[in-house]
Chains A and B, each alone.
Chain A
Amino acid sequence: MQDLATTIALVLSSSVRLAVPLIFASLAGLWSERAGVVDIGLEGKMLVAAFAAATTASETGNAWLGLLAGIVASVAFGLVHGFAAIDQRGNQIVSGAAINLVAAGLTALLGNAWFGEGGRTPQLDLPASRFTPIVWPGADTIATVPILGPVYHDLISGHDILTYLAFLTVPLTAFMLYRTRFGLRLRATGENPAAVDTAGISVRQLRYGGVIICGILCGFAGTYLSVSQAAGFLPQMTAGKGYIALAAMVFAKWRPIPALLTCLLFGFLDAISIRLQGVVIPNVGEIPVQAIQSLPYLLTVILLAGFVGRAIPPKASGIPYVKER
């Protein structure tokens, strides 16, 4: 019984860990698209953030400076996307695809040129250069208590600061979007920019606001990958997480709380696919890892096809705003 509770708590705890970058990134996409800027460049921004964060953390030995560098790099790429989408009225899909390509090439290229280890950054072995788990008070003493012990010890306690921040970002996003003037205006910009413009509010500024918040959150997501979860940067270490986050955002129909739940579900799928590797289940046989890995993509396709309710995006997302129309 105690073993089962521990196993469940451990699986859920690793689901949480795997969900953290998805939570940050899908909220990032949500902010951008709610403001009317489609962003398929989440993957690229996460990747540059992961690289910048790991490089800075290894050079300075300070994880917080790494986070700052990750955010700066990600926002810089976001501003390129914003410039193309908002000021140049360029195609936002093309711009996002370009950002993913440049990020993939540039991080591997610079990593190799600077460190000469096949694109990796040096291992972050100083304790201060990584975000380390925070053990909550009494976690070790309570660990042996049935049910409650494993839940408190493994699931609630023992994550790093970015994990708790990710969970905090969700209500914060919901509050800002639905309960503040800025949020109302930003959502209106994604639905009906002409109305926002008529009210004398700058569509351009609000859209840049959405793009910058998106960049900051992608900075958190990327930093988590290279400075918390792993001890350094590996080329292509995002491995499609940006697209899964995009899928989660669509699946959550552009709403923060459902986005959190979807990311947790996708994190859980990831955790059990790792856990089930090579395990033979009676009467079923071995479940292919790939079958579980493909579920988020499959679910998104099914949702988009309208088989489980409609996914209706912000009306003006992806459409450049022209003032005099």
Chain B
Amino acid sequence: MSQPIALPRWADLVLVPLLSVVTAFIVAALVVLAIGVDPWAATVSMVQGSLGTPEGIGFTLYYTTDFIFTGLAVALAFQAGLFNIGAEGQAYMGGLGAALVCLNGGSLPSWLLIPLGIIGAGVFGGLWAYIPGLLQAKRGSHIVITTIMFNWLATTLMAYLLVNTLREPTSMQPGTARFPAASIIPSVQSVLAGFGITTVETPLNLSFVLALACAVALWIFVWRTRTGYEIRTVGQNATAAVYGGIAPSRIIVLTMALSGVLASGVAVNEIMGVQNRLLLEFTAGYGFVGIAVALMGRAHPVGVVLASLLFGILYQGGAELAFDQPKITRDMIVVIQGLVVLFAGALEGLFRRPLASMFAGLLPARQPPTGPSTPPAFLEPASEEAEPAVAQPGAGVI
């Protein structure tokens, strides 16, 4: 049993995640049944609500944008063997960065203010992840606990700032003043209108394009650059990386900072694209969805985009479902999300082991899959990989 579980690559990349998700949905269906709602009717209502109308599609892709950002953030950290549970806090702090730029740059033209706002978000989100990365690399504190604590620190800090310092004096609601019009990211509807195509108005904006660009850039960075190779090496085996002349501490800090920058994309989409002001708790748990997205997408940009689309459908469809079926609230999505994390992340062995013995009977013995898309060591159950005790400096410090 301590041999690596060898599966054909397609089974590893497609079949295992698919089985995990299907199981998660079956359990979710049982929950829906227990409430006294027909799961099939619920599914139809969700699909129609998310993909049945142009408006539904717009909303679906708007949610997808958030999930691509947080999913990529968690996935990049996975590649280095790090579990970034703090995308939520990083996205939140990214909002602060974007707001500070937008609120103080009123006289700047759009072509300058929007990029500056995005950079502001990235710097703040990146810094909020840089510190836990630095603490893990230099002081051995465990990234999971530190990022959890940083999520709560971000929550209390932002609550203070939004209630006391940044709040618009005339407003009772904790939140900043409206941003200048020049900082607003154009909506897809207005861009299409420029080409003479009329569509319905949805929150979908050009951040979606930015998210897709980030996915492509991340793929090139991780699989086509020297630093990306170093990140993957550290993720697979930090000890071997040291022998290869790679400094894991440098890679950990860099990866975490970049992960935070990616997470801050949520702020770009939400507060520069849609809300146009910084609001309390605008991140709404998107950072945690990123964990499910990255696990389902096998920490690969293509997988992340597809998993984000699925979660976008769930979020928009869930809103419609809550409207159709008063007994079901949007909390259903959180349940599904948790089940996906459970089955795709922690209980993967349930599917991998039977599949492996099935394939072992069907096919001649073959090597474990190798190649550019091999999932990082992190995604495998630790015991099946190289000595876990040396996998990370400070691993298991919880």
Q: Do A and B come from one complex?
A: yes
**In the complex, A235→B330 CA distance in Å?**
13
* One of A80, A89, A321 near B342 (C-beta < 8 A): A80
Alpha-carbon separation in the docked complex, A322 to B2 (Å): 7
Contacts of B288 in A (CB 8 A): 97, 101
A298 surroundings in chain B (CB, below 8 A): 149, 153
Q: Which residues of A contact B341 (CB under 8 A)?
A: 94, 97-98, 101
- A110, chain B: closest CB distance, angstroms: 7
Chain B minimum-CB-distance residue to A100: B338
Q: Hey, what's the 0/1 contact readout for A291-317 against B, CB within 8 Å counting as 1? A: 101100110110011110001110111
Bound: A308/B333 CA distance, A: 41
Are A305 and B335 in touch, CB under 8 angstroms?
no
Verify A105–B149 contact, CB threshold 8 A: no
Mark each residue of chain A from 243 to 258: 1 if its CB lies under 8 Å from any CB of chain B, else 0.
Answer: 1001100100000000
Give the shortest distance, in Å, between B134 (CB) and chain A (any CB). Answer: 9
Whether A319 touches B382, Cβ cut-off 8 Å, given contacts A89-B349, A97-B85, is: yes
In the complex, the answer to whether B381 meets A290 with C-beta atoms within 8 Å is: no
A243 touches B327 (CB 8 A): no
Q: Across the interface, which residues of A come within 8 angstroms of B119, CB to CB?
A: none
Residue of A whose beta carbon sits closest to that of B36: A113
* Chain A residues numbered 108-162 whose CB sits less than 8 Å from any CB in chain B: 108-110, 112-113, 119
Would you list which residues of chain B between 331 and 365 have a CB under 8 Å from chain A?
331-339, 341-342, 345-350
Of the four ranges (under 10, 10 to 19, 20 to 34, 35 or more), the interface on chain B belongs to: 35 or more
- A90 close to B339 (CB less than 8 A): no
Residues of B within 8 Å of A108, CB to CB, are: 329, 331, 334
Rounded to whole Å, the gap between the CB of B304 and the closest CB of chain A is 16
A98 x B338 contact (CB < 8 A)? yes
Q: Which chain A residues lie closer than 8 Å to B149 at the CB level?
A: 243, 247, 297-298, 300-301
Q: Do the beta carbons of A317 and B398 come within 8 Å of each other?
A: yes
Interface contact B345-A89, CB-CB below 8 Å: no
Contact (Cβ within 8 A) A300 B346: no
CA distance A288 to B160 in the complex (A): 7
CB atoms of B345 and A297 under 8 A apart: no
Residue of A nearest to B327 (CB): A113
Q: Which residues of A contact B329 (CB under 8 A)?
A: 108-109, 112-113, 119
A85 surroundings in chain B (CB, below 8 A) = 346
Chain B residues 190 to 210 lying within 8 A of chain A, measured CB to CB, are: none
Query: Is B83 part of the contact surface with A, judged by Cβ < 8 Å?
Result: yes
Q: Is B328 an interface residue (CB 8 A)?
A: yes
Contact with A along B362-398 (1 / 0, CB 8 A): 0000000000000000100111100011000001111
Q: How far is the CA of A89 from the CA of B348 in the complex (A)?
A: 9
Q: Is the CB of B164 within 8 A of A288?
A: yes
Give the residue among A247, A300, A305, A307 with the most B Cβ atoms within 10 A: A305
- B2 near A98 with CB under 8 A, answer no
Name, among B160, B331, B337, B345, the residue most crowded by chain A CB atoms within 10 Å (CB to CB). Answer: B331
A79 at the interface (CB under 8 A from B): no
Contact across chains for A305 and B141 when beta carbons are under 8 A apart = yes
Q: Which residues of A contact B349 (CB under 8 A)?
A: 88-90
Contact B160 A291 (CB under 8 A): yes
A102:B396 contact, CB within 8 angstroms: no
- Chain B residues lying within 8 Å of A83, measured Cβ to Cβ, are 347
CB of A93 within 8 A of chain B? yes
B145, A101: Cβ atoms closer than 8 Å: no
Main secondary structure of the interface of B (DSSP, over half): helix
Is A110 within 8 A of B35, CB to CB?
yes
How many chain A residues touch the partner (CB < 8 A)? 63
Q: Specify the chain B residue showing the minimal Cβ separation from A319.
A: B388
Choose among A243, A315, A320 the residue that contacts B152 (Cβ–Cβ < 8 A).
Answer: A243
Query: Which residues on the B side are within 8 Å of A297 (C-beta)?
Result: 149-150, 152-153, 156
The reply to whether A109 and B383 contact each other, CB–CB distance below 8 Å, is no
Given contact pairs A99-B338, A101-B334, A301 touches B135 in the complex (Cβ within 8 A): yes
B142 CB within 8 Å of chain A:
yes
Could you tell me the distance between the alpha carbons of A69 and B133 in the complex, rounded to whole angstroms?
41
The reply to whether B156 and A84 contact each other, CB–CB distance below 8 Å, is no
**Complex Cα spacing A38 to B145, Å:** 11
Tell me if A318 is interfacial: C-beta within 8 Å of chain B: yes
Contact A304 B388 (CB under 8 A): no
What residues of chain A lie closer than 8 Å to B182, measured between beta carbons? Answer: none
Instruction: Give B19-45 as 1s and 0s: 1 = Cβ < 8 Å from A's Cβ atoms.
Output: 000000000000100011000000000
- Residue of A at shortest CB range from B149? A297
Closest-by-CB residue of A relative to B334 is: A105
Which chain B positions have C-beta within 8 A of A94? 83, 291, 295, 341-342, 345-346
Contact call A98/B342, Cβ cutoff below 8 A: yes
Measured between beta carbons, the chain A residues less than 8 angstroms from B345 are 90-91, 94-95, 97-98
Which chain A residue lies CB-closest to B336?
Answer: A105
- Could you say which of A93, A103, A112, A291 contacts B83, with CB atoms under 8 Å apart? A93
- Does B1 make an interface contact (CB < 8 A)? yes
Given A88-B347, A91-B345, A102 contacting B145 (CB threshold 8 A): no
A288 to B159, CA, bound (A): 10
- Alpha-carbon distance between A290 and B328 when the two chains are bound, in angstroms: 34
Select which of A92, A293, A301, A325 is within 8 A of B146 by beta carbon.
A301
Nearest residue (CB) in B for A101 is: B338
B178 at the interface (CB under 8 A from A): no
- The answer to whether A304 and B397 touch across the interface, beta carbons within 8 angstroms, is yes
With A105-B338, A290-B157 already in contact, 18 other A-B pairs whose C-beta atoms are closer than 8 Å: A33-B398, A38-B398, A40-B148, A40-B398, A95-B342, A106-B31, A109-B329, A112-B327, A112-B331, A290-B156, A294-B153, A304-B141, A304-B145, A313-B396, A313-B398, A317-B398, A320-B381, A322-B383
12 A–B pairs (Cβ distance < 8 Å), ordered by A: A33-B398, A38-B396, A85-B346, A90-B381, A91-B346, A98-B338, A112-B327, A119-B331, A246-B148, A294-B152, A319-B389, A320-B382
- B interface residue numbers (CB < 8 A to A): 1-2, 31, 35-36, 83, 85, 135, 139-142, 144-146, 148-150, 152-153, 156-157, 159-160, 164, 288, 291-292, 295, 327-329, 331-339, 341-342, 345-350, 378, 381-384, 388-389, 395-398
Query: What are the 4 closest A-B residue pairs judged by CB atoms, nearest first?
Result: A105-B334, A101-B338, A102-B338, A95-B346
